[in-house]
Amino acid sequence: MSWKGGQRGLRDLAEGLVKAGALQFGTFSLPGGKESSYYVNLRALPSYPGAYRLVVDAVAGLVSKKTPKADALFGIPLTGLTIASPVALALKKPLIYARTQKDSEGRVMEGEVRPGWNIAVVDDITDTGRSALASVKALEQEGGEVTHAFVLIDRLEGAAGRLKGAGVALNAVTDVLELAETLHSMELITNEHLDAVTRSVKSR
Amino acid sequence: MSWKGGQRGLRDLAEGLVKAGALQFGTFSLPGGKESSYYVNLRALPSYPGAYRLVVDAVAGLVSKKTPKADALFGIPLTGLTIASPVALALKKPLIYARTQKDSEGRVMEGEVRPGWNIAVVDDITDTGRSALASVKALEQEGGEVTHAFVLIDRLEGAAGRLKGAGVALNAVTDVLELAETLHSMELITNEHLDAVTRSVKSR
């Protein structure tokens, strides 16, 4: 299965994510007691080769369309790194990533950030954008420049605005509302599921 | 640059690793006060697209030659995961990996281990083999079966024997001695550097 883009690509992607268990609709309890009308978790995506290939191709296509001249990519571990690694390889761009712990010299970055390099930040999903923004700041501290961030799925919880405030454009392959609408048009989720997602997105 | 195998492939690989700073010869202090005649660190490899491509193709080729029927791959974070992710994608095999921390339910694996699945363990480098062996045990506890482990570089510090004792064959694209010999034949390291590596390997 390869990424076709457009409605066809979206349908393949949405169905692939559901089959991989990465995207579920219903009522889910979030940490802290709140409820959500959907659940997204891409950590096990690499266990589903067809869906994993679609995701990597979709993100690679978006990066090369929006920032063809990026000097390097930055992957946010762990899940973002499972996407950013094959994307960087496909685009022949250097990949920088964050350690999970500082090394003995207090460094958190793996790979070289050259002064003035334009670096595209890549993650699997974004909600408020705080995690992507922390990466942007860390890269800027190392002398890099960040103008674009990329995710597969935008949860539509404020990331685009927060990143824009820092001069970074958020590029998402898709978002939760578009995924719900796509699955609804394929009769894979009910009216009630779509309504619940729509309400929760509009209420933000 | 693509992986050619044989002497030609080895020369490209050895030179690529040196240029990426992933392989150095000289006198290095190890944690604990010991000295080593070489230094290998593949964490920044993804920052060098040419060498990264060679490594991924070499490991993918070895996995598909030695365990063409493996049901899934297992990547050891972080560096092993930057190799295992694109290898799994290229071979269209499910990728399972370890979290860096247990989740709220105490699980450490991402991705499903199906009962009886034969799983190929992939890491960047091995020394004593203790880390690979821990992954083997964890996968067996989840119901998987491990017969083969793969690394780019074997440091020749006992991993093959330790893994064999657990019924696992260690497959390495190359080892430190072969890399040193290759670089020496290309006149990229001195007689003294080669002798030091040879002595340290033979003394184990």
The model carries a pTM of 0.94
pLDDT band at residue B37 using 50, 70 and 90 as cut-offs: very high
Q: What is the mean pLDDT of chain B?
A: 93
pLDDT band at residue B1 using 50, 70 and 90 as cut-offs: low
- With contacts defined as CB-CB under 8 Å, which chain A residues touch B77? 77-78, 100
B28 membership: H or E segment, kind and range: strand B23-29
The three-state DSSP-derived secondary structure of A97-150 is: EECCCCCCCCCCEECCCCCCCEEEEEEEEECCCHHHHHHHHHHHHCCCECCEEE
- With contacts defined as CB-CB under 8 Å, which chain A residues touch B112? 44, 47
Whether residue B19 lies within 8 A of chain A, CB to CB, comes out as no
Rounded Cα–Cα distance for residues B40 and B6 (Å)? 21
Name the minimum distance, in Å, from the CA of B60 to any CA of chain A.
Answer: 13
In chain A, which stretches have pLDDT less than 70?
1
Whether residue B167 lies within 8 A of chain A, CB to CB, comes out as no
- pLDDT for the residue A101: 73
The backbone torsions φ and ψ at residue A38, rounded to the nearest 5 degrees and listed phi first, read -155, 165
- Which of the pair, B57 or A103, is modelled with greater confidence? B57
Whether residue A53 lies within 8 A of chain B, CB to CB, comes out as yes
Query: pLDDT tens for residues B60-113?
Result: 999 999 999 999 999 998 999 999 999 999 999 999 998 877 777 777 789 989
- pLDDT for the residue B184: 97
| Burial letters A169-183, b for 16+ CB under 10 A, else e | ebbbbbbbbbbbbbb
Whether residue B20 lies within 8 A of chain A, CB to CB, comes out as no
CB pairs under 8 A between A and B: 100
Query: pLDDT tens for residues B166-178?
Result: 999 999 999 999 9
Enumerate domains of chain B plus CATH numbers.
Answer: 6-202 (3.40.50.2020)
- With contacts defined as CB-CB under 8 Å, which chain A residues touch B94? 46-49
SS3 content of chain B, % helix, strand, coil (to 5): 45, 25, 35
Residue from B1, B41, B47, B124 whose CB has the most chain A CBs within 10 Å, to mutate: B47
Strand pairing category for A72-75 and B119-126: unpaired
Closest CA to B88 of B72, B104, B102, B103: B72
Pick from B44, B92, B110: CB nearest A110: B44
ipTM: 0.93
Rounded Cα–Cα distance for residues B144 and B142 (Å)? 6
Are A92 and B44 inside 8 Å of each other by CB? no
Residue from A28, A57, A82 whose CB has the most chain B CBs within 10 Å, to mutate: A82
Query: pLDDT tens for residues B118-167?
Result: 999 999 999 999 999 999 999 999 999 999 999 999 999 999 999 999 99
Closest CA to B112 of B167, B67, B61, B74: B74
- With contacts defined as CB-CB under 8 Å, which chain A residues touch B52? 88-89, 95
Task: Please report, as a single letter, which amino acid is at residue A189.
Answer: I
- With contacts defined as CB-CB under 8 Å, which chain B residues touch A85? 46, 81-82, 85-86
The backbone torsions φ and ψ at residue A23, rounded to the nearest 5 degrees and listed phi first, read -140, 120
- pLDDT for the residue A99: 81
Q: Return all residues near B76 (Cβ < 8 A) that are at least 6 apart.
A: B84, B97, B98, B121, B122, B123, B131, B132, B135
Q: Compute, in degrees rounded to 10, the torsion defined by CA atoms A46, A47, A51, A54.
A: 30
Rounded Cα–Cα distance for residues B121 and B76 (Å)? 8
- With contacts defined as CB-CB under 8 Å, which chain B residues touch A78? 77-78, 81, 97, 99-100, 110
DSSP string, chain A: -----HHHHHHHHHHHHHHTTSEEEEEEEPTTS-EEEEEE--TTGGGSHHHHHHHHHHHHHHHHHH-TT-SEEEE-TTHHHHHHHHHHHHHT--EEEE-SS--TTS--EES---TT-BEEEEEEEESSSHHHHHHHHHHHHTT-B--EEEEEEE--SSHHHHHHHTT-EEEEEEEHHHHHHHHHHTTSS-HHHHHHHHHHHHT-
- pLDDT for the residue B29: 87
DSSP class of B118: B
The alpha helices in chain B, defined as continuous H runs, are 6-19, 49-66, 79-91, 130-141, 159-165, 176-185, 191-202
Closest CA to B72 of B92, B57, B55, B43: B92
